[in-house]
Homo-oligomer: A and B are copies of this chain.
Amino acid sequence: MIRASIVGGSGYAGGELLRLLLDHPQIEVTAVTSRRHPGEYVYQVHPNLRRRTSLKFGAAERLEPVDVLFLALPHGEAQHQIESLARLAPRVIDLSADFRLRSPQAYERWYGSPHAAPDWLGRFVYGLPELERETIRTAPYVSGVGCNAAATILALLPLASAGLIDEAHPILAEIKVGSSEGGAEGNPGSHHPERSGVIRTFSAFGHRHTAEVIQALGREDVSLTMTSVDTVRGALATAHLTVRPGLTDKDLWQAYRQASASNPFLRVVKEARGVYRVPEPKILAGSNYADLGFEYDAGRRYVVAMGAIDNLMKGAAGSAVQCMNLMQGWDETLGLTFPGLHPA
């Protein structure tokens, strides 16, 4: 058993992380902090944890040293406190956007202001095990992932890993997302009568998570379009791309099977019948799986690649725990066994 604490545990990613850590067989959670809910029982904010923990939200200033420190602060805060926070633990996993990009220039371009701790960007590893598994194993500092970036990168991973993508053509990903992606703080657009039933393309291009996909793929001509739909959890990336000449259906299948075989949380979903023929986020709520699928038009060399995740799990807390497992040398699936529900 090792000790872990969470800085900023009253948001949605922090709450999901806490749920995972409380049931993790190797973890003792020693503290959870919150500025918005100081002194409140954790279960008053995360009602699913009632009777699971008697922890109260504490102040970040009073944190004791631990074995692993998770940061789940609002974007832009961790970079100002990383020096002091890093003294609290030999291993730090930050779920915010602060340390996902390696380049200070890229950070400034996409986030609109210079990074407050540019030296730290190089010390963090991007926390998507499917992309950086071996590096993560020995890293002291690991970032989180943007949920939309994770859905897109994973949708493309089988073809990218196998080198099948034709880089002469741009990649476009249309991502449909639920309301939890907007975080635990309400706004006029998240008021239920306004948000219910929406199909709202709120970002045609230029979404910040694009930067992570560009970094992961090593190419610039990638565009993300974001549309809100009526669900709480879940993100589906439908990516449009062109593959290299001469490929058969079998070649693509092989790439997907290879990706799935190498990654315990990747599943290929491509069925000829039944209700669930393609990847769908609804059955992934609470699960760390990413479901991947594709359709291929050989004549046009055109592929529609799909990646479905729970934005709070594979797109946030689930990947963070998976990273911790790797950093600690444990089975990477430890504490991540909930498969999701059907029906849901």
- Inter-chain CA distance A200–B199, complex, in Å, is 14
Q: Report B-chain residues with C-beta under 8 Å of the C-beta of A52.
A: 339
- Inter-chain CA distance A297–B184, complex, in Å, is 31
Q: Report B-chain residues with C-beta under 8 Å of the C-beta of A182.
A: 193
State which of A82-90, A128-136, A233-241 sits at the interface with chain B. Answer: A233-241
- Inter-chain CA distance A44–B275, complex, in Å, is 8
Q: Digit string of A291-335 for contact with B (CB within 8 Å is 1, else 0)?
A: 100010100001010101000000000000000000000000000
- Inter-chain CA distance A308–B338, complex, in Å, is 22
Supposing A191-B184, A295-B204 touch, asked if A48 and B342 sit within 8 A by C-beta, the answer is yes
A234 touches B199 (CB 8 A): yes
Q: Report B-chain residues with C-beta under 8 Å of the C-beta of A236.
A: 199, 201, 227
A304 touches B225 (CB 8 A): yes
Q: Digit string of A275-302 for contact with B (CB within 8 Å is 1, else 0)?
A: 1111111111111010100010100001
A267 touches B187 (CB 8 A): no
Does A189 make an interface contact (CB < 8 A)? yes
A44 touches B271 (CB 8 A): yes
Does A231 make an interface contact (CB < 8 A)? yes
Does A167 make an interface contact (CB < 8 A)? no
Supposing A47-B269, A205-B295 touch, asked if A176 and B199 sit within 8 A by C-beta, the answer is yes
Supposing A48-B341, A205-B302, A304-B205 touch, asked if A232 and B276 sit within 8 A by C-beta, the answer is no
Tally of contact residues, A, Cβ under 8 A: 91
A289 touches B51 (CB 8 A): yes
B195 touches A225 (CB 8 A): no
Q: Report B-chain residues with C-beta under 8 Å of the C-beta of A51.
A: 267, 289
Does A245 make an interface contact (CB < 8 A)? no
- Inter-chain CA distance A297–B276, complex, in Å, is 37
Of all A-B residue pairs in the complex, the 4 with the closest CB atoms, nearest first, are A204-B295, A204-B304, A193-B343, A186-B191
20 pairs from A and B in contact (CB 8 Å cutoff): A15-B342, A23-B338, A47-B269, A48-B341, A48-B344, A172-B172, A176-B227, A176-B229, A178-B193, A192-B195, A192-B196, A197-B232, A198-B282, A199-B281, A223-B240, A225-B240, A229-B230, A230-B230, A233-B341, A286-B338
